[in-house]
């Protein structure tokens, strides 16, 4: 008789606990969360708090809490004629400066489009100004504009002196071409010989008069003495704004050039080859191929530079401080003086900051619409 096995089946080994894995979405959220918190603390919260202060009467040096005044700060600013003067100064500065930066930057990009020996070094040297701090640039150009020992007055004075000489050379060249037509080819050589004799004599008499410091009409002597007391570039109302514009164009034209170079390098060569086959002129190729292809990046450059021009502060403060008087006082300079000088009017300065923000957003919207039309076209 067969025996029945009474052995108990062995218990199954316990399964290890399943590991919990984070989903990719949860990992992304964990990495982004610190950045979002930092953004809220450093950017969004100050914006909201300054917006609240713009509706209050408050000063950071006062122990009194903010007092709600509604739209009073905004109405006071918009009804103040000085604000519109500062806004006009800012708009004029932005318009002229950005226009010159666009022309100079695009022109440099067209010149550097073709590679040549040392083109990389030249491009790097041109980009150096935009790498410098605006305060360093302001100190550097204040030395250049100095009326006593600044090199700008020396260059300006000598260029003024060379102008009559260049006009004389042009006159001689014109006479050299006109003499054969007046005297005829047969006697033209005698007329040219007379010119060769008269030129040194006239030049001798001219320089004797010019170099004579005893004469009231000694032009060279007057120019040299005028160099030491040249124009006050940063102190004269007419020249102060143009001085800032010159520095701004020198500093930021390389930025426009860089974006234009990127746009020029992306233009397909077959477009120019097809235009050359059709015997299209250089002007036609520039107007129909180069400019439309570069226009999107050019508008982006103009947009960035316009925004920065409306926010311009450090360069103006470093060069003129908003003077002489208030001819170079931009809205940003006025905002600084309203917030950190005098009564430290935090509420009104916050309102002015938001007015400038709305203006910048409106101007940026116009550029973005133009950019979209350029892309669609």
**Residue 373, burial from CB neighbour count under 10 angstroms (0-12, 13-18, 19+):** exposed
User: Could you give the CA distance from residue 17 to residue 13 in angstroms, rounded to a whole number?
Assistant: 12
What's residue 1's pLDDT? Answer: 47
If one compares 35 and 304, the residue with the highest pLDDT of the two is 304
Q: Is the dihedral of CA 47, 49, 53, 59 positive or negative?
A: negative
pLDDT higher than threshold 90 for residue 92: yes
What's residue 239's pLDDT? Answer: 87
**Residue 336, burial from CB neighbour count under 10 angstroms (0-12, 13-18, 19+):** middle
pLDDT higher than threshold 70 for residue 224: no
Tens digit of each residue's pLDDT (9 = 90 or more) over 139-176: 889 888 887 777 777 776 666 666 666 666 676 666 66
**Residue 327, burial from CB neighbour count under 10 angstroms (0-12, 13-18, 19+):** middle
What's residue 196's pLDDT? Answer: 65
For a pLDDT cut of 90, what percent of the chain falls above it?
Answer: 30
**Residue 314, burial from CB neighbour count under 10 angstroms (0-12, 13-18, 19+):** middle
String of DSSP letters for 225-293: HHHHT---TTTSHHHHHHHHHHHHHHHHHHHHHHHHHHHHHTS-HHHHHHHHHTT--HHHHIIIIIHHH
What's residue 326's pLDDT? Answer: 87
What's residue 377's pLDDT? Answer: 64
Q: Cis bond leading into 324, ω under 30°?
A: yes
pLDDT higher than threshold 80 for residue 133: yes
Please say whether the beta carbons of 210 and 218 come within 8 A: yes
If one compares 225 and 89, the residue with the highest pLDDT of the two is 89
Alpha helices in 69-113 (DSSP H): 72-78, 81-111
Set out the domains of the chain in order of their start, with CATH numbers. 74-131+234-376 (1.10.3720.10), 151-228 (no CATH)
The alpha carbon of residue 374 and the mean position of all alpha carbons in its chain are separated, in whole angstroms, by: 22
User: Could you give the CA distance from residue 330 to residue 316 in angstroms, rounded to a whole number?
Assistant: 8
Mean pLDDT over 269-285 rounds to 89
What's residue 372's pLDDT? Answer: 84
Tens digit of each residue's pLDDT (9 = 90 or more) over 354-377: 999 999 899 889 888 888 887 776
User: Could you give the CA distance from residue 177 to residue 334 in angstroms, rounded to a whole number?
Assistant: 59
pLDDT higher than threshold 90 for residue 106: yes
pLDDT confidence band for 61 (50 / 70 / 90):
confident
User: Could you give the CA distance from residue 227 to residue 244 in angstroms, rounded to a whole number?
Assistant: 21
Burial letters 235-253, b for 16+ CB under 10 A, else e: eeeebbbebbbbbbbbbbb
pTM, to two decimals: 0.73
């Amino acid at each position: 008789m067969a025996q029945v096995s009474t052995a108990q089946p062995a218990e199954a080994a316990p399964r290890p606990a399943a590991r919990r894995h984070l989903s990719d979405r949860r990992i992304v959220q964990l990495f982004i969360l610190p950045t979002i918190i930092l953004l809220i603390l450093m950017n969004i919260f100050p914006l909201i708090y300054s917006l609240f202060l713009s509706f209050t009467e408050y000063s950071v040096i006062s122990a009194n809490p903010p007092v709600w005044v509604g739209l009073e700060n905004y109405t006071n600013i918009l009804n103040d004629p000085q604000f519109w003067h500062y806004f006009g100064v800012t708009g004029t500065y932005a318009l002229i400066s950005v226009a010159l930066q666009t022309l100079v930057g695009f022109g440099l990009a067209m010149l550097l489009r073709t590679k040549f020996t040392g083109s990389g070094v030249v491009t790097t040297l041109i980009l150096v100004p935009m790498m410098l701090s605006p305060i360093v640039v302001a100190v550097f150009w204040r030395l250049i504009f100095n009326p006593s020992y600044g090199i700008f007055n020396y260059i300006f004075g000598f260029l003024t002196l060379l102008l009559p000489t260049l006009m004389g050379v042009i006159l001689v060249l014109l006479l050299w071409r006109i003499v054969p037509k007046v005297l005829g080819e047969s006697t033209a050589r005698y007329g040219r010989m007379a010119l060769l004799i008269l030129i040194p004599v006239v030049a001798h008499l001219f320089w004797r008069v010019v170099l004579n410091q005893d004469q009231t009409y000694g032009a060279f002597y007057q120019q040299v003495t005028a160099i030491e007391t040249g124009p006050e570039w940063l102190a004269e109302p007419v020249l102060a704004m143009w001085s800032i514009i010159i520095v701004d164009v020198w500093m930021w034209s390389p930025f426009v050039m860089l974006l234009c170079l990127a746009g020029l390098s992306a233009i397909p060569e077959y477009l120019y080859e097809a235009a050359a086959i059709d015997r299209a002129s250089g002007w036609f190729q520039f107007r129909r191929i180069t400019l439309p292809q570069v226009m999107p990046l050019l508008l982006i450059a103009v947009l960035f530079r316009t925004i920065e021009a409306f926010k311009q502060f450090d360069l103006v403060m470093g060069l003129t401080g908003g003077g002489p008087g208030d001819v170079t006082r931009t809205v940003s300079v006025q905002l600084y003086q309203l917030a950190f000088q005098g009564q430290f009017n935090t509420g009104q300065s916050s309102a002015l900051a938001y007015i400038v923000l709305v203006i910048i957003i409106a101007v940026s919207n116009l550029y973005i619409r133009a950019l979209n039309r350029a892309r669609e076209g």
